[in-house]
A and B are shown apart, each in its own frame.
Chain A
Amino acid sequence: MKEITKKDLLLLVLGLAVYAVVQSLISIEVIGPFWTLNIVLICINIILASSLNLINGFTGQFSIGHAGFMAVGAYAGAILTVKLQLPFLLAIIVGALVAGVLGFLIGLPTLRLSGDYLAIATLGLGEIIRITILNIPYVGGASGFMGIDRFTDFTWAFFLMLFTLFFIKNFINSTHGRACISIRENEIAAEAMGVNTTKYKVLAFTLGASFAGMAGVLFAHYFYIIHPTSFTFMKSFDYLTMVVLGGLGSLTGSITGAVLLTFISAALADYPEWRMVIYSLMLIALMLYRPQGLFGSKELSFKMFHLKGRERRDIA
């Protein structure tokens, strides 16, 4: 991984400033509980969207079972804090690890598949995970896992989000990340150039899964209760929509996608029946008129404004 550059520090300072402003607005109650909830949700969604983007956008493996890994993390974390009374930080680490190990075990065989087949296999895996959880009475089965303490607050969600973004950003700029991108561009050519495609596909998948697991722990400890129906493939589609809206292969795109869609669904909270209709129309319209998403595979940066109109294809 690359050493931390001046630009990273600048972004870190920017992040801290955003945190300070939002946190003080929350403490003086300018931002009410409804929007606080949505801001925390935005942070969790950014983690999920950017980690899914690592698999779908940067490595080019079409996975649509992200909610399954989130569920694994959520349940593992909840078992740790509720049943075993262990600290929250440990729950986060274990949740991420368990989801990551599962991602590795699942990724190893399934990533031999490509394109449509991989999509349907990951979708199926997500469902298998959910149905398995549904059948475990220890974690509440169909009635859900109750009595989880609210450990997640804005601070946790925000700093874990920052951590995820920095990690993924540095990962894709590293040798490993470049290898992942080369697989997206042309798997056969990458293989011919000596890239161990299986290794990198599994690596990206495992990392993506563990971040999803971490987000799951945050999710579980914010909403008191988790339920197998919270992790259906509709949820995976939500994250897919965020990634696609922002642009496959753009981290800032994922952030924008997560923020926009969380806001839209918050704004439509009174009309839940319209939410999915608008989501779906947006997806279709987006694919018809701007299939690369809002940002394509570019990042939003100051450079982007300087070099207007010129095709700069570098990432970050």
Chain B
Amino acid sequence: MTPEEREQLIDSLIDGEIDEADFLRIEAELSVDPEVRALYYNRLKLDLLLQREASGSVDDSGSDVAQAVAPSAAIPPVASVNILQRRLTGIFAVLAATVLGFVAWSVWNPDSSRLGSPAGLAGKLEPTAAGFAILQGQSDAVWEGDPLATGSLVPSGPLRLLSGVAQIELFSGVRMVIEGDAQFVVQSAMLVQLDRGRARAQVPEAARGFRVQTRHGDLIDLGTEFAIDAGDEAARVEVLTGEVELHGQGAARQRVLEGAAWQLSDAGVSERSDSDSLQVLGPDAFERQLSSQQVDQRRRWQQRVASMREDDRLIAWYQTQQTSADGRQLPNLAQSDSQSAGAAAIVACQPSSDRWGQAGGALDLSRTGSRIRVDVPGEFGSLTMMCWVKIYSLDRLYNSLFLTDGHELQEPHWQIMNDGRLFFSVKKFDGAEGKRRRPDKYNFYSPPFWDASLSGQWIMLATTYDVQARRVSHYFNGEEIGSEAIPADYLVPRVTIGPASIGNWSEPMYRTDPQFVVRNLNGSLDEFVLYSSALSGSEIAELYRLGNPAR
């Protein structure tokens, strides 16, 4: 064999374009000749580098997770500062990072100078989130700027609640109800700056010393419950139980006992002439009010579901609170003529609270092996998949939403990558007969939607597969987060499902090898819906609006 021939064979091998006879020839050469192997390694390196060079910022379907997040990734240690080295090393650091399962956004930390030290790396291993409090509940709340979701971290910086009522729970244990119109800043778990507005706080013993700062002075809690109304002229204070200490401007200090009505003003600390109650709802009363509102909302949603069940496009609608008498099955609520999917079987799931706060209304899939088994016969054109899930963490490489058993031709797979991207694909080619270079499917990824602050919150995810428009779109909480045309080569006009799992992946039935990969969703599922049509963006937004408990 001439050197030229050898190189050609190696190129064909790496291209996946080699036939069996040539494969055996080059394998023989590789086996006996270290120089041929050296050439092979060099060509593999060239291939790897060319692929990276060509993909640039484009995420081709064969590229790994790392590549997609690399451009925004932290810059790990490099001795010589060099853009190229940075970028390449970044890819590999992030590759490692994504494998380790920590959320992509925690790597986007501009403070990367310490990454070189082991301590810096250890720091990066822990996901971080920012805030001192959770927005526990809200009623008719209107926020200046973007709305805040119930259950989310309260952002740092000034907040303006224009109207309505919100309750925040600080990490110190303080529960605080704030009524609009109010302007405030959560400075720490022990300090809230209240520039304007009315609030009532319940302070547990562990948070004694909690402080509310107003323009006219500070209130320091000495244990229990108080109300405060910060106005332009003065901050009026009412102690409901226990006592507080008021610190006016300068040296003025005053202990105020239960039942007393005082105020902070530019004149210092003084007893109020009016002894009117401030009439702010307490945390307990507010929670009761919210929970009765949720019961109402849940009932209204169920009424809507009852009317939507007859939609002809429905293949399946499973609600985890609607189990069969023995609690092992979820009936298919879809009542369209065309549906033929039966009841779903619950495997190894634990009951958990649903998104309306009702105990036992949802299914927890976090125990290894948990899944909800379905069988969906038939062929479909387009598809919509929608679910309400509460995810604790994305700690598997693939976190399952809805996967057919194995992955056969024409079958869809819907899951979440551990960097927080939604993943959808329909298998187009059979691996055995396809060209080796060509992937057997095209993967449609959304941009990452996940960060650690979403952990434990109910979210709605949806993906549509539109054969007519040749497009796959991903939705997070009713909003489109990504949409991509289906490459002509990879369009599958008729999709089949068959036996499948919600929240996990099952390898083909009758497989006897007990080993399995862990892909179950580390979280809970409340609702799963499948349509034989691609719902429009506005239909999905409407499903979210009606089904969202945290309004």
Specify whether A and B are partners.
no
